[in-house]
Structure formats: structure tokens, C-alpha cells
Amino acid sequence: MATTHAYISAVGHYVPEKVLSNADLEKMVNTSDEWIRSRTGISERHILDNGATSDLAAGALKAALANRGMDASELDIIIVATVTPDMFFPSTACLVQQKTGAKNAFCFDLSAACSGFVYALVVGAQFIDGGRYKKIAVIGSDKMSSIIDYTERNTCILFGDAGAAVILEPTGEEGVGIIDHRLYSDGSGSKFLNMTGGGSLNPPSHETVDKKMHYIFQDGKAVFKVAVIGMADVSYEIMQRNNLTGNDVDWLVPHQANLRIIDACAERMELDKSKVMINIDRFGNTTAATIPLCISEWWQKGKIKKGQNLVLASFGAGYTWGAVLVKWGIEAPKEIKS
């Protein structure tokens, strides 16, 4: 099995200040704090009032660059994973370049919904592996509030806004970095989770607006069933093919869509719950940002130690899903944030 020498050299995140709590949502739709917490694990989520996905992404990238002590002009590539780009074109990554001053980077977006960060991390690692590029920003960023119908209780309780970034660089250290990955797609899942308005299939019109086709649609029950199996299976697969047991995995970093899906995944991996990164209670589902947001928070708190094994696992629209095995390669920060 090929191993790459790309490693995560820095992390950073940006979360808007405004909080939308379950109590706030109780006043907007027919729901309850009890229902939301017991069915999803979410207590509150953050909302960006002014600005767009590129602002979340640029904030996250600036934080990661500061943590690395790197100037934006040193970056070779910026990849932004998102389903809520500022606009169809230019890419959000180009806008992030402009907002951060990363004038030497070439930039593009990647669309894989909730698996966007995991896909982008693998793509970024290949550029390092190929030997031509040395400093790559991989960002997961979504302003989900821009595609949510806040009169629809099935979906509006689930999502929040955030951006989180990592920087990939080559490492000389043997066995450190992005060790292995397994990515999957199944386009037959497209009808269960989508946003059908605004693209070439259904260009924007009064009708697409009236039919609420510019909002996210999710058949929650259908997605739940395959997400539980998909995320658990791929996490187990990545452990098996790297001869790891639950004891060898230090952290599961799961996509934060539903606490019950996360629990099922940890159970399949025979992992103690103390080894699972969970922040869905505070941020909800931030789509492409969930996984790097967890990593960034846990690193800031000094909880990830150099040499630890992380399994990143995701499931999202497409369907897309996958897992990445990472051997952590950086020390805890000098200043621990509680």
C-alpha cells in the first residue's frame, strides 16, 4: 500500500459569533429542545449574518497560517471544499486567495458535500506525494444557513456555519502524516439529499423559488440508514487494512451529522467514547467544516499528541463517504486554549 509523506503541519478554524439555540428554533418552527437533542445531539449552532463562505474559509486559513508561522504568499495551492460557494464562479478558493493574499497559489473548489474535506485532504496529499508542491491549504467551509428553509423543521435544526483549514506539507519523518485513505461514491443516493434549483438542470426562475428548490432537501430517514452503515464500514475497513484494533486508534474524527450515527461508528470500531471527537452539540452539522473543526479545536486544547492515530470518517450527499488514517505529526500548541 502506498504511503504518502504529506502531513498536516497546521490547523485553524473560524466560527461566527452569533448562536442559534434550540430555544430560538422552538420559537421559529414546531420543535422542541428535547426532540432535537435526543434525535441529533445538537444544542446550538452558529450563524454567519454578514458575509459568505469565503469569509469563513479565509478566517480559518488565516488562523492556520498564524499557527504555522507561515505567510500566505508561501502557499502553492488552495482547495476549498464546499456546497455553499459564494457564487457558481469564480471558485470560492479564488476569493479566499484574494482575501488572504496567497498570491502564489493556484486555487479551486471541490464538491463532495459532507465528505468534501476528506476528499480534498486526499487530493491535496496527492499533490505533495507527486513531489511538485510543498504547501497546500485544504479548507472545509460552509454557510449552510444560506440554503436552509427556516420554516422547515426537518432540516433547519440540523445545520450551522463554520470554516476550518489545515495546511499540508511534506515530512521527512517516516510513518507520519496521511497514511491511508478509502473513498467511495454512489450517485444513486442523489435523490435523497440535494438542492435541485439554480443549476443547469433547473435554472433559477420564479417557479424554482416558489417550489423552494434553492433550499437543501433531505430524506432524513433514508440518509440515516445508509450513513450509519457507510461511515461505520469504511472506518472499520481502514482499521483492518492497516492492522489496527480499537486500542491502536487514539481518535475517531467523525463527520458531525447526528450523534447516533457517530455512536454507531465508534461501536463498530470498538472504540471507547472518550476517543471520539464530538462537538455537534455546539455547532450542529457544518457540512465540509465538521472534521477539520474538530481537529482544530482538539489540537488547540492540547488533546492531540504527536504520533497518535486519527481516523477521519465522513458520509454525505452524492452519496459520498470515506475514511482517512492520519498519524499526527505536530506538537501541541504553546498556548493551550480551554
Minimum CB–partner distance for residue 315 and ligand UT7 (Å): 6
Beta bridge pairs of residue 169: 7
Q: Cell 435526543 sits at which residue?
A: 38
Which CB, 153 or 212, lies closer to ligand UT7? Answer: 153
For residue 208, the 8-state DSSP code is H
Residues recorded for the chain: 338
Residue 262 binds to ligand UT7 (criterion: CB under 6 A): no
Identified binder of ligand UT7 from the candidate list 119, 215, 217, 315, rule CB under 6 A: 315
Which CB, 153 or 282, lies closer to ligand UT7? Answer: 153
Residue 114 binds to ligand UT7 (criterion: CB under 6 A): yes
Distance (Å, whole) CA 214 – CA 93: 22
Q: Show Cβ contacts of residue 104 under 8 Å, excluding neighbours closer than 6 positions.
A: 73, 74, 75, 76
Q: Which of the following is catalytic: 255, 258, 265, 294?
A: 255
19 and 66 Cβ atoms separated by less than 8 Å: no
Which CB, 154 or 202, lies closer to ligand UT7? Answer: 154
Residue type, 279: N
Q: 28, 35, 48, 105: which is closest to 289 by C-alpha? A: 48
Region label for 152, one of left (φ > 0), alpha (ψ between -120 and 50) or beta (otherwise) = beta
Q: Which of the following is catalytic: 94, 107, 114, 265?
A: 114
| Residue 285 is a catalytic residue | yes
Q: Of the listed pieces 14-22, 86-94, 216-224, 275-283, which binds ligand UT7 according to CB under 6 A?
A: 216-224
Q: Of the listed pieces 32-40, 77-85, 196-204, 262-270, which binds ligand UT7 according to CB under 6 A?
A: 32-40
Residue 111 binds to ligand UT7 (criterion: CB under 6 A): no
| Residue 255 is a catalytic residue | yes
220 and 255 Cβ atoms separated by less than 8 Å: no
Instruction: Return residues touching ligand UT7 (CB under 6 A).
Output: 31, 35, 39-40, 114, 153-154, 157, 220-221, 223-224, 227, 257-258, 261, 285, 315-316
Catalytic residue positions, numbered: 114, 255, 285
